[in-house]
Structure 1
Amino acid sequence: MAILVTGGAGYIGSHTVVELVQSGFEVVIVDNFMNSNTEVINRISEITGKEIKFYNIDLLDKQGLSKVFSDNRIEAVIHFAGLKAVGESVEKPLYYYHNNITGSLILSEVMKEFGVKKMVFSSSATVYGTAETVPLKEDTPLGATNPYGWSKLMLEQIFSDLYTSDNEWSVALLRYFNPVGAHETGLIGENPSGIPNNLTPYITQVAVGKLDKLRVFGNDYNTKDGTGVRDYIHVVDLAKGHLKALDKVLTNNIVDAYNLGTGEGYSVLDIVKTFEKVTGVTIPYEVTDRRPGDIGVSYADPDKARQELGWVAEHSLEDMLRDSWNWQQKNKNGYE
């Protein structure tokens, strides 16, 4: 029996595949390589010593996806595939809703046809919208401030409704915060196309000389230094959280949400200063306008994941930034 990982060549997906294979699971990857690279598959094999089966398929291709299920005995699905840039989602809402929601509906239909009803879903802390109290708990009132966040929240509702209609389904909704870092080997890491949307690859690309300076989006938030505060989590800790959630859905019939974060909030300037401390590299920056849809403060209460999944983040902020820099130095142009 195999675990199907959609978006398994992506940043979080690739690290999760490594953890799955090293834990003894057979893995099948489905990815359209829109925001990833086939070289990732080779790197995963290099790390794990195993050949990884993969299909270059878009989730909107129902016939192609059905063939994956016909060819393999799939036990459960870890579902990462989807578009994820907040700013782009504001500019292209229909594109985001069609890709993220329709693709997930087709996946669910094919899973149902083949009797596969276990899923770990990649949700997001964006489902908390502009919640006024932190840390964010799973029972915090939900909302969203951009189409990307709404697509995740809508899918959480869809999977909840699916479970209500048929209790054989089991879905873990993982609301994760800001993934940072890379595999300790430096073989896989975050590889954004074009100008990075996320803070850490932006910083590392400035540090390595690909970009001239960091753009800090807003310094007028109600925070200690005016810059946005987020909960940053090492991508390997995040990957291990998916394995804990997989064990939960394989042994229980549930639909439930879990925060995956550290419970610590760091500002943009905290990250810049810590990166400079860890690496000895100075990061020039300029402050620009806030991005549409961004909020001031967001960090998790991860206690439910600790209690119910047995999961705790183990890496420090220094670990995250050191591993990010290691990846960037070894891969100045990403996987190219």
Structure 2
Amino acid sequence: MNILLTGGAGYIGSHTAVALSQAGYELVLLDNFCNSNPSVLERLQKILGKPLHCVEGDVRDTSLVTKTLREYKIDAVIHFAGLKAVGESVEKPIEYYTNNVQGTISLLEAMELVGVKKLVFSSSATVYGNPQYLPVDEAHPTGATNAYGRSKLHIEEMLKDVANSNSAWKIICLRYFNPVGAHESGLIGEDPGDIPGNLMPYIALVASGKLPSLNVFGNDYPTPDGTGVRDYIHVMDLAEGHLAALEYLSGYSGWDAINLGVGLGISVLDLVSAYKKISGRKIPFEILERRQGDIGECWAKVDMAYERLQWRAKRSIELSCQDSWRYICSNGLRKNI
């Protein structure tokens, strides 16, 4: 079975490429490398013992996507390509809607032209907005609080309309919570190439001495220590969730949305403490005001993922920190901050 991974050289895409390739799937990656590095292709080859096909280009280039689907006889698509930082999305909403929404429309147009009707979409727990109850299940009302989340929610609604238009479509939206960690080899991991928008790589930069301190946005949330609480899932657990979703699609028709998380909330300061213990480094931090668009706490109810996909997260937060630190020590990040 031939699978196209849009944004396949990125953080989650590259780890999913490992899980799928090792399960026997033939892969093609499509990436413009705006949030990734071409060197990941060499690293993937070292892990897998073989090269992966990669097409350099933008998912918004409908003719290129159409050509790729035809040339490689693609059977299904996993759609990762898009911008993903909450804070940045508040500052650059047009850029987020252009990349995320327009990019998905382009992909759907190409898939429709070629007749590829299987799609796993990289969605987000941000579609739930400020949780009305915890843990958050898939029946929770949606209503994002920032442009990133709204772009994901709008795409989900588009995909639901597409699935309703033709029973041949098979679409699953995977609502990620907070991916962390790296592959156990230390060869691939989260590499934002600038000051990170996500917490763990920011902590890693402070631990490695590339940044002087961690900015903690808000310590007055109604949480045990006042800092934000999130559900942190190891990226290889997440990758295996995509494998399970792809296999689930073979016997499924329509649209579905499924949470991928651990089902446990961890605060910013708890994560700092865990990383400090693993790395043996000091991690100074500074408390700042809350960021616009952030919420206090959010973690998943994950029963549906097990019931439908026979999948659940297996890796601990300590292992996530350990794998992240191994990656940083082995490779650093792309740029010196």
Give TM class, smaller chain.
Answer: over 0.9
CA distance in 2, matches of 1:83, 1:94: 11
Corresponding position of 1:252: 252
Name stretches of at least 5 consecutive residues in structure 2 with no aligned partner: none
Name stretches of at least 5 consecutive residues in structure 1 with no aligned partner: none
Q: Secondary structure at the match of 1:257?
A: strand
Q: Secondary structure at the match of 1:172?
A: strand
Matches within 5 A, 1:192-203: 192-203=192-203
Identity across aligned pairs (percent)?
Answer: 54
Corresponding position of 1:210: 210
Q: Does structure 1 residue 35 correspond to structure 2 residue 31? A: no
CA distance in 2, matches of 1:290, 1:335: 27
Offset at residue 335 of structure 1 (A)? 8.3
Q: Secondary structure at the match of 1:5?
A: strand
Matches within 5 A, 1:71-220: 71-220=71-220
Matches within 5 A, 1:270-281: 270-281=270-281
Number of aligned residues = 336
**Alignment CA distance shift 1:335-1:56 (3 Å):** farther
Offset at residue 70 of structure 1 (A)? 2.3
One-letter code of the match for 1:194? D
Q: Is the 8 A contact 2:258 2:304 kept in 1?
A: yes
TM-score, normalised to structure 2, is 0.98
CA distance in 1, matches of 2:279, 2:96: 37
Q: Which moved more, 1:322-331 or 1:275-284?
A: 275-284
Q: Secondary structure at the match of 2:47?
A: helix
Q: Is the 8 A contact 2:192 2:333 kept in 1?
A: no
Deviations 1:231-268 (A, max 9, x none): 00000000000000001112211311110000000000
CA distance in 1, matches of 2:12, 2:251: 24
One-letter code of the match for 2:96? Y
Q: Is the 8 A contact 2:177 2:300 kept in 1?
A: yes
Q: Is the 8 A contact 1:62 1:107 kept in 2?
A: yes
One-letter code of the match for 1:6? T
Deviations 1:135-171 (A, max 9, x none): 0000000000001100100111101000111011011
One-letter code of the match for 1:116? V
One-letter code of the match for 1:145? T
Corresponding position of 1:8: 8
Q: Secondary structure at the match of 2:286?
A: strand
Offset at residue 195 of structure 1 (A)? 0.8
- Runs of 4+ residues over 6 Å off in structure 1: none
TM-score, normalised to structure 1, is 0.98
CA distance in 1, matches of 2:209, 2:335: 17
Q: Does structure 1 residue 287 correspond to structure 2 residue 304? A: no
**Alignment CA distance shift 1:335-1:46 (3 Å):** farther
